[in-house]
Amino acid sequence: MNFKGGHILSVNQFDREAIEQVFNVAHQMLPYAKRQKRTTVLDGAILGNLFFEPSTRTRVSFGTAFNLLGGEVRETTGLSNSALAKGESLYDTARVLSGYSDIIAMRHPDTGSVAEFAQGSRIPVINGGDGANEHPTQALLDLYTIQKELEHHGSGIDGMHIAMIGDLKYGRTVHSLSKLLCLFKNVRFTLISPKELSMPQGIIDVIENAGHQYKITEQFEGSLDADICYQTRIQEERFPSQQEANQYRGKFRLNQQIYTKHFQSKTVIMHPLPRDSRAEANELDNDLNLNPNLAIFRQTDNGVLVRMALFALTLGVENIVSQFDQKVCWHVNP
């Protein structure tokens, strides 16, 4: 995969070699993310951070990653605050805004919208999520987290067992992650969701065609020997109505008691966040906060590393980052 100057729109662009390249560069970014040192390798470069759908973590993570490489960030948030609300096409928006930046990260509520935007862009575009379709950078940071967590337990991605739980129909993170996992060997999938929110057949076909085992069920059953428990929230913003979404809220809660009953003592708990902590939902109970296998905040930290790596690779500076190192002069908590 040739990263330099290219778009990152889909996990379908990646093979195992490309994933390994991203992860190797991400690992090199750790001292900068920890503020042990800083780099100005992208001094003068501008990220156009275009988020036309609500986001906190992903939007700030993209901006932070770019800032940590020494670049500057210009943001547009919300469709109503953009010229798209005036009827401007994605192509025209891309032609204009790509003249103001060196790279663009974009989220949009419509499937295929980021790829459409990229057709009009004169600079690289990174997909920050397009509707219920894909979220490639989330999938990469999830995979990076899985690799690091399993290494801690002395195992790896090949041969692992993952339980995906909750809204598998509208949850774009599980769609993209499933595709990436299919690049590995002998992965087992347990897909737990209401029938109405089951994994799309297209993703099941990808899993099946890659030769992996999978099981579809509507409830927790017995003792799951899963290495990873990947919980998702109900994507209420993608349902036809709030009333319909409310039917499924709280269906798959996970607390310490349920975890102990159905999972191994070393099963890693993941969630793309935000977790819905309202009483009627409470997907991941606060009593899991002290569980050492709760990896949700390690996931968010890893997101900065992976996005730094993608910026460095796409802008062709991955091999010269350390040449622009400087000392950190402010207080940093250990």
State the pLDDT at residue 7: 98
User: Rounded to whole angstroms, what are the CA distances from 42 to 80, 98, 311, 325?
Assistant: 31, 17, 9, 11
Q: Do residues 103 and 45 touch, judged by C-beta distance below 8 A?
A: yes
Residue type, 209: N
Q: Do residues 130 and 136 touch, judged by C-beta distance below 8 A?
A: no
pTM: 0.93
Give the Cα separation of 262 and 303 in Å (integer). 28
State the pLDDT at residue 192: 94
Q: What is the distance of C-alpha 326 from the center of its chain?
A: 30
For 234-292, the pLDDT digits (tens) are 766 666 666 666 666 667 788 999 999 999 999 999 999 888 787 776 688 989 999 99
Both tokens assigned to 232: 């998702």
334 residues of the chain, pLDDT tens digit each: 899 999 999 999 999 999 999 999 999 999 999 999 999 999 999 999 999 888 889 999 999 999 999 999 999 886 666 667 667 899 999 999 999 999 999 999 899 999 999 999 999 999 999 987 888 999 999 999 999 999 999 999 999 999 999 889 888 889 999 999 999 999 999 999 988 889 999 999 999 999 999 999 998 888 889 999 999 887 666 666 666 666 666 677 889 999 999 999 999 999 998 887 877 766 889 899 999 999 999 999 999 999 999 999 999 999 999 999 999 999 998 8
